[in-house]
Structure 1
Amino acid sequence: MHSGVSTLNSDLSTLLIAVRKIAMDIRTGDMKRLLLLMVNAGVLLVSSQAQAQSSVTLYGLIDVGVDWESQAAKAPGQRAASGSAVRMTSLAGSLPSRWGLRGKEELGGGVNVIFDLETGFAPNSGALNNGNRLFGRAAWLGLESQYGTFRMGRQENMTYIGLLKSTVLGPALYSLAALDPYLPNSRSDNAVSYFGEFRHFVAGATYSTGRDAASAAGGATANAGAAYNPAASNCPGNVPGDPVACRQITALVGYWGQMLGLQFVYDQLRGGPGLSAGSVSYDPSMPLLLATSSAKTMRYMASGYFLLGDLSLRGGVIHRMTTTTTDYQTNIFYGGAAYMFRPDIEFEGEISRITTTDQKNANYYVMRATYLLSKRTSVYTMLGFMQNNSRASYAVGAGYHTVAGAKQTGVLVGMQQRF
C-alpha cells in the first residue's frame, strides 16, 4: 500500500516537471520537443489515475404493493377484530424499498477503502423508515483485503447476515418479521465489525457501544413518551461509568459451500437508559423494557441451506431469551423452498412456528410467486395464513395487528423495480 502511494507521488512530481518544460517550450517555440513532452505527460496522467482507481455507485429498489388482511385490529390488545383491511405497503412488500451510494477506492496491494450509505423509505408516502433516519439501513466506512473486511458505523449485524442465508422470503411483509420484528431490523449503531471468508469457511463479529441511538415519539408514558418501535429501540449507550449499557455483540461462524451451507449465530443486546429523561430502552422483539444494563436479550441461531440446480432449500431455528426481572423465552422453527420454474418465474414457500414461555404459539404459512418482466422489474403476489392459538395475536403482515386466537389470511400483490 505504501509503495503504491510513493509511486503515485513520484508520477505526479514527474508530471509537474513535464508541465513546466511544456510551458518553457511554448515560450521558445520548440514545437517538436513540445509534442513529445505532451505525449509523455498524457501517459503519466493515465498511469497516475490507474494507481488509485475509485468508483461510486447509485443503487436501490422501489417495491410497492397492496395488502388485504382479514380479522384486522387497529391496535394491540383489541378484543374483537375490526374487520378486513386494505392498505398500500409502507414497511416492505417483497423487499423494503431503499436507495444508496456505494463506493470503493483501490489503495494498492489488494487493499480497498469501501463505504455504503443506504436509506430506507416508505413508497406509499415517501417517509423515512428505520427509525426516521436519513441513512437508517447503512452508514459505514471500511477496509477490505484478502484477509477480510473491517467496517465502522451503522451496519447490518451477523443476525441479519445469517438470516439472509437461511430464509427464502427475506425481510418481506409476510416473513419471519411477523413473528419477531427484530429480525429484519437487526442492525447496530456505533458498531465495528469484521467478516472473512476462507475457502468457504466464514467468520464474523460486530461490537456496538450503543446499539440504537434513535427513538420514536409516542404515547407510552411509562417510557417518557417513547413508543415501541423495533426500528428505534431507544438505546444510545456510551454511558460514563457503565460501558455495558446498550452494548451489542453478534458473532457468526459457518461453512458456505456452493451447494451446502451451515452456520451458527450468537446475538446479545443489553438494556440501558434511553434518549429521553427518565426513559429506558426496549427489547426490539416486543415491548419489554430493558431498564438496566444487566437486562439483556440473547439469541442463538442454527441454520443452513441446500442448493440443487433451480431448487433451494433453507431453514433453521432461533432461540431467544430475554432476562429482566423474569426470564422470557421464544423458539422459532422455519423452513422453506424456492424453485426457479422458468428463467422469468420463481415460486417460494415457507412454514414457520413460534412457541413462547407464556404459550403464545402460532403456525405461519407463506407462499410467493414472482414474474420477471425484465432483469430489473418484476411483479409478485404473496399469500399468508397465520394460525394463532387462543393466547397469541401475531398478524400475518409484519407491523400490523390482529386479535388473540385469530386465523388470519393475507393477500399481497406488488411490483418491484431495481436501479
Structure 2
Amino acid sequence: MTVAAASAAPGLVNAQTASNVTLYGIVDAGVEVINNVAGSGGAQGTVTRLNSGNLSGSRWGLRGTEDLGGGLKGIFVLESGFDIDTGLSGQGSRLFGRQAYVGLQADIGALTLGRQQNALYDLFGAYDPMGVGPRYSLNTVDSAFNNRADNAIKYTGKFGGLTATAFYSFGRDNNGEVPGSPKAGRNFGGGLAYAAGAFSIGAAYDQYQGGTVALEDRSARRAAIGTAVTIGDGKVFAGYRWLKDDGTGSATAAPVRSNVYWAGAQYRFTPAFLLTGAAYYTDTHNSDADPWMLVLSADYSLSKRTDVYLNVGFAKNKSGSSLGLNGVGTVVPGENQTGATVGLRHRF
C-alpha cells in the first residue's frame, strides 16, 4: 500500500518536493508438532503448538522516501515484529524491533542512523537455502545471522552486481554508550556480495564487545562466506561460518570456538511449487558436542502474495549438544529432535 504526496511548508521551503510512504508486511503462522521439548519443572516430551514466523518473521512496517533534488533522497524505515499467535511485539517487546532508521541516499550509497540489521543478516539470506528464516534454518544454528544493532551508523552501496555494507554501533541490544567506556556494547562489521548471472558470492564480518564495563574486553567475532548458483530450475547453496567468542554472555561464560558448514538445494517443479533441502553441521572446538540439522521444505504459492508450506526437520545431538529445530537450547540436551510445521504466509 503506497501513499504519494507533494507537499510544501510555507515559509520553510520554496518548492514542492515529491515524497511517498509505503505500508508493508508479512504474516506467517503454522502448526508445529515437535518432540523432546524441555518444559518447566523438568517436564519434557512432544508438543503440538501454533507458531508465528516460520519461513518469515511476522511484521508490519513503513518505509518512505523524499526527493531532495540533485540525486539525493531522504529515507526512513520503521519495522515492527510481532507474534501473530499472541499479538505480542517481538524483539524484546520493542515497538519497532526489526528496524528503525532514518538516512540519506545518493548514487554512491545510503547512510542511515538507528536500529539496523548487521552485515550477516543483510547478505546471507541469499546463501542459506532456507533464507535465514526464524526456524529450521541457518538462523536456528546461529542466531547472529538475524542480529540487529541499536545505536548504529550504517553505509550500504550497490554498484551493478556488487553490494557493499558496513556499520558501527555505539551500543547494541540497548547496552553500551557508557561514559568513559566506549568499548562496552560496541558492535561493528561489514561485508561484500557479488552477483553475476546465475552465480553469486558474499562474505561478511561481525564483532561485538560484552555489553557491560566488566565484559567490554571480551569480544565475539564471526566471519562467514557463502555462495549460490542457479542451474536451470534449480539452485545450489554452500557456506561456512567461523566463530570466536571470548565469553561475552556473562562473567562466568566460557570461551567458545566453532565452525558451521552448510549446503543445500532448491528445485522449482512448477512456477508455484518449490522444494528445498538443507543440511547444517556445527563443529565445536575441543568438544564432541557437534550437532547436525537436516531440513526439507515444500512451498506452494496460491498467488503472488500468499503461499502454504510444509517444513520437516531433524536435529541430531550428541555429547550434550542442544541444537533444536527452533534454535540452540530448544531441545533436551543430548536428545535428537524431529519436527514438522504446516503453515500459511501472506505478504502485503
TM-score, normalised via structure 1 length: 0.75
Given candidates 131, 146, 159, the residue that maps to 2:92 is 131
**Corresponding residue for 2:311?**
382
Tell me the CA shift for residue 75 of structure 1: 5.8
Tell me, yes or no, if structure 1 residue 245 matches structure 2 residue 184: yes
1:249-295 CA distance string (max 9 Å, x none): 1110232223212222111000132xxxxxx8xxxxxxxxxx42101
Tell me, yes or no, if structure 1 residue 350 matches structure 2 residue 278: yes
**Corresponding residue for 1:306?**
229
Tell me, yes or no, if structure 1 residue 292 matches structure 2 residue 215: yes
Tell me the CA shift for residue 308 of structure 1: 2.8
Tell me, yes or no, if structure 1 residue 416 matches structure 2 residue 345: yes
* Matched position secondary structure for 2:93: coil
Q: Which runs of 4+ in 1 moved over 6 A?
A: none
Q: 1:360 to 1:352 in 2, by over 3 A?
A: same
CA contact (8 A) 1:322 1:328 kept: yes
Q: 1:245 to 1:162 in 2, by over 3 A?
A: same
**Corresponding residue for 1:166?**
127
* Matched position secondary structure for 1:342: coil
Higher relative strand content: 2
* Matched position secondary structure for 1:238: coil
Amino acid at match of 1:146: D
Following the alignment from structure 2 to structure 1, what is the Cα–Cα distance between the partners of residues 32 and 258? 28
Gaps in structure 1 of 5+ consecutive residues? 1-7, 14-47, 214-235, 274-279, 281-290
* Matched position secondary structure for 1:240: coil
* Matched position secondary structure for 1:150: strand
**Corresponding residue for 2:80?**
119
**Corresponding residue for 2:143?**
181
* Matched position secondary structure for 2:215: coil
**Corresponding residue for 1:392?**
321
Higher relative helix content: 1
Tell me the CA shift for residue 399 of structure 1: 6.7
TM-score, normalised via structure 2 length: 0.90
CA contact (8 A) 2:322 2:329 kept: no
Q: 1:150 to 1:326 in 2, by over 3 A?
A: same
CA contact (8 A) 1:74 1:401 kept: no
Amino acid at match of 1:251: G
Given candidates 339, 344, 368, the residue that maps to 2:297 is 368
**Corresponding residue for 1:231?**
none
CA contact (8 A) 2:91 2:97 kept: yes
CA contact (8 A) 2:81 2:96 kept: yes
Given candidates 144, 168, 183, the residue that maps to 1:207 is 168
Following the alignment from structure 1 to structure 2, what is the Cα–Cα distance between the partners of residues 255 and 417? 30
Q: 1:399 to 1:127 in 2, by over 3 A?
A: farther
Mean Cα deviation higher: 144-153 or 250-259? 250-259
Amino acid at match of 1:158: A
Report matched runs for 1:96-111 at 5 Å.
Answer: 96-111=57-72
CA RMSD of aligned residues (A): 2.2
Q: 1:360 to 1:142 in 2, by over 3 A?
A: same
Mean Cα deviation higher: 163-172 or 320-329? 320-329
Following the alignment from structure 1 to structure 2, what is the Cα–Cα distance between the partners of residues 249 and 183? 14
Amino acid at match of 2:49: R
Following the alignment from structure 2 to structure 1, what is the Cα–Cα distance between the partners of residues 92 and 238? 29
**Corresponding residue for 1:194?**
155
Q: 1:191 to 1:102 in 2, by over 3 A?
A: same
Amino acid at match of 1:174: Y
CA contact (8 A) 2:28 2:54 kept: yes
CA contact (8 A) 2:290 2:318 kept: yes
Tell me, yes or no, if structure 1 residue 54 matches structure 2 residue 16: no
Following the alignment from structure 1 to structure 2, what is the Cα–Cα distance between the partners of residues 399 and 418? 28
Gaps in structure 2 of 5+ consecutive residues? 1-8, 248-252
Following the alignment from structure 2 to structure 1, what is the Cα–Cα distance between the partners of residues 169 and 44? 41
Tell me, yes or no, if structure 1 residue 69 matches structure 2 residue 34: yes
Q: 1:75 to 1:166 in 2, by over 3 A?
A: farther
Q: 1:312 to 1:172 in 2, by over 3 A?
A: farther
Identity of aligned residues (%): 36
CA contact (8 A) 1:141 1:151 kept: yes
* Matched position secondary structure for 1:314: strand
Tell me the CA shift for residue 181 of structure 1: 2.5
* Matched position secondary structure for 1:385: strand
CA contact (8 A) 1:306 1:313 kept: yes
Tell me the CA shift for residue 326 of structure 1: 5.4
Amino acid at match of 1:204: T
